[in-house]
A and B are shown apart, each in its own frame.
Chain A
């Protein structure tokens, strides 16, 4: 049985889809068999981030409603043979699917794939409930902002009440120079507040925009910072012990003084 990971956040626009695309592609790069599910019904995005928007025939709702077989709806990636996408329906809404159906779908996929990665919609409504229903592990994406961290805290509580404990955290869009100036919360601040395990940190990186424009996830581009950060996360999820990369932990002289003074 493969693992079913849901990428969620509460707040919109923090990088769930970007993360789902990069982790999925990152696993595929290591030869793992991966199914990406776009659970953002009505606002499908993962297809364009993956550059697969022209290949869609059937979607998630078609599968659930039995209009096609699961295999027919899975789109194979352009570059990686072991990577597949199950796109969201664009003309339906979240209520077209229920948590039970999602659970069944995830179980079916987990039989054939090493990793099933679900891109969750923003919010805490039905779409969120659908997306987490079949997940065996939750990954929470946040940015170093008050509202995003607040929503992450809410999501951690909701996941817990659904019996999904120990979610892992990805902090996205860290800007080291702002952290250094004391104008952005750093990794320790956020971990301290949310009290969950850190899976990795993704820097703010222009290459994310470029790769999204091209429909090629950043991990396929070896020299970008975000690419390395996402690859490190993939390795951690595979059980490797990978330290945070240097830009991620670069601490200012000030924070060293603070640490020294135990403040």
Chain B
């Protein structure tokens, strides 16, 4: 808000086309970097399983991890069926 005001004061638009370029680049690179290596998602999944297994027992087979894109953001969406929660020191950490 404040910045917008200052920019208007100095006769500058807050969104020159470079900001559009930067934003588009940021989004496209999220996907590019994931897609460059076919193992990327698998490795991420394996690491997630390792961490989550400290806290709960999950159904690895039905686990889904994906990137979804909306107009202005990318989200990592994980659907991980939980079989049971763990009890004990690891879960208390």
Contact = CB atoms under 8 A, between A and B. Distances in A.
Interface of A: 145-146, 149-150, 153-154, 157-158, 161, 179, 181-186, 189, 193, 253-254, 257-258, 261, 263
A9 B82 CA distance: 46
Contacts of B37: 161
A250 B13 CA distance: 19
Given A146-B24, A154-B36, A182-B12, A193 B19 contact: no
Secondary structure type dominating chain A contacts: helix
Contacts of A254: 7, 10, 12
Contacts of B3: 257-258, 261, 263
A185 B22 CA distance: 7
Interface string B5-16: 011001011011
A157 B29 CA distance: 11
Interface in B1-59: 2-3, 6-7, 10, 12-13, 15-19, 21-22, 24-26, 28-29, 32-33, 36-37
A193 B25 CA distance: 8
Contacts of B13: 182
A82 to B, nearest CB: 40
A165 to B, nearest CB: 15
Contact of B22 (A154, A158, A193, A263): A193
Contacts of A263: 3
B43 to A, nearest CB: 14
Contacts of B28: 146, 150
B32 A184 contact: no
Nearest to B19: A182
Q: Which 3 pairs of residues, A with B, have the shortest CB-CB distance?
A: A182-B16, A183-B17, A157-B36
Contact of B18 (A150, A153, A157, A186): A186
B18 A185 contact: yes
Contacts of A261: 2-3, 6
Given A182-B17, A193-B25, A258-B3, A157 B10 contact: no
B29 A153 contact: yes
A254 B15 CA distance: 12
Contacts of B2: 261
B38 to A, nearest CB: 12
A183 B33 contact: no
Given A254-B7, A263-B3, A183 B16 contact: yes
A140 to B, nearest CB: 15
12 contacts: A146-B28, A150-B28, A150-B29, A161-B37, A185-B22, A189-B18, A193-B29, A254-B7, A257-B6, A261-B2, A261-B3, A263-B3
A146 B36 contact: no
Given A182-B18, A186-B18, A154 B32 contact: yes
A149 B32 CA distance: 12
Contacts of B21: 145-146, 185
A42 B28 CA distance: 32
Contacts of A179: 18
Contacts of B33: 153, 157
